[in-house]
Amino acid sequence: MADDDVQFQRTEYMTRQLTEEESQKLLQDTLLVSDFKQRKLELEAQKNWDLFYKRNTTKFFKDRHWTKREFFELTEYNPMTKHVIFEVGCGVGNFMFPLLEEDINLIFFACDFSPRAVDFIKSHPSFDPTRCTVFQCDITRDIITENVPEESVDLATLIFVLSALHPDNMVAAVENVVKTLKPGGALLIRDYGLYDHAMLRFAKGHKLGECFYVRQDGTRAYYFSLEKLRMLMEAAGLKAERVTYIQRATINKKEGINAPRIFVQGKFVKTTSPSTGHTREREDARVSNKLNNGEGKSELTLVSDELLESKDSADGSDES
């Protein structure tokens, strides 16, 4: 950011309105990359990310110091316990290291597609194998519980990662992560939003599908609407607790350039325990049957409290 730049940020629930010129540009971009090339991009996705880190090393993404401001869940937890975080698609650790350095109660699992990114993490001066387990994986295919125990994670994060996957693989990837979450645990997401400045800058010949584009280096980017993100998470068994657009504008005082960045951000909660197969609603019905049969009074009190809490927080307004 230059000295003359001013940055604004606001939370939005409505999709950004396009100008006439922007609408025309998107409408006219109808040519899709061929199926052959699309298959090749999918087959070479890992190679392309690994080459990205070969070219950029640790210098591309900035440390993400905004995370505690945007996700209070990263700091508000029982200080007497360790807080287990699973960072999926961790890159070279720009999200994880600032948090590890500030809070000794955090323990991380972290994974990335690129073996080179994983090596960068392991050679970072703040890497501590007693607090961070890092491994290479393809989140869309690998059995994640071989590296992260089932239901062991308080918070999982996908920070600009889902957008890098083929849309057909997104639900499977999220389901994979959900297995590692404790019941009541949450997935925090920040990613590219519909009509982001970068989406509107793609030249013809880069479109892979609706809201899905390929960059020059072969890495791909999907731009999410709130509805799409919500549907995706619900299909993977998560409940949306808050989902918003984050609009950031950078305005240069001299040149007046406004580059609207649009992100989607959300918290999605695991209200189902796969080990029992009981959703909260089914659990409710099960307990109410027990009550009608005169059994399990103390269990009813406990579970009802838990149900109330979950309803309250699901109704809670956005934090930012």
* Closest distance of CB 75 from ligand SAM, Å: 19
Give the residue with the Cβ less far from ligand SAM, 61 or 202: 61
160 touches ligand SAM by CB under 6 A: yes
* Closest distance of CB 215 from ligand SAM, Å: 10
94 touches ligand SAM by CB under 6 A: yes
Segment interacting with ligand SAM, rule: CB under 6 A, options 109-117, 256-264, 281-289, 294-302: 109-117
Supply φ then ψ for residue 229, to 5 degrees.
-65, -45
* Closest distance of CB 164 from ligand SAM, Å: 4
95 touches ligand SAM by CB under 6 A: yes
67 touches ligand SAM by CB under 6 A: no
99, 165, 186, 211: which one binds ligand SAM (CB under 6 A): 165
Segment 33-62, which members bind ligand SAM (CB under 6 A)?
45, 49, 61
Residue pair 171/141 in contact (Cβ under 8 Å)? The answer is no
167 touches ligand SAM by CB under 6 A: no
99 touches ligand SAM by CB under 6 A: no
Segment interacting with ligand SAM, rule: CB under 6 A, options 154-162, 208-216, 231-239, 282-290: 154-162
The residue written with tokens 């971009």 in the block is 29
Beta bridge partners of 153: 181
DSSP, collapsed to helix, strand or coil, labels residue 268 as strand
* Closest distance of CB 196 from ligand SAM, Å: 13
Give the residue with the Cβ less far from ligand SAM, 137 or 303: 137
Cα dist from 103 to 12, 84, 208, whole Å: 30, 12, 41
Residue pair 164/231 in contact (Cβ under 8 Å)? The answer is no
Distance CA 133, CA 297 (A): 42
Distance CA 227, CA 222 (A): 14
Single-letter residue type at 176: N
Q: Which among 162, 170, 172, 175 is positioned nearest to 88, based on CA atoms?
A: 162
Segment 209-238, which members bind ligand SAM (CB under 6 A)?
none
* Structure tokens that stand for 219 in this block: 């890495």
* Closest distance of CB 2 from ligand SAM, Å: 23
Q: How would you label 198-221 residue by residue, b for 16+ Cβ within 10 Å and e otherwise?
A: ebbebeeebbbeebbbbeeebbbb
89, 193, 237, 266: which one binds ligand SAM (CB under 6 A): 89
Parallel, antiparallel, or unpaired for β 153-159 and 238-252?
A: unpaired
Distance CA 58, CA 112 (A): 14
Which residues of the chain form contacts with ligand SAM (CB under 6 A)? Answer: 45, 49, 61, 89-91, 94-95, 112-114, 117, 137-140, 159-161, 164-165
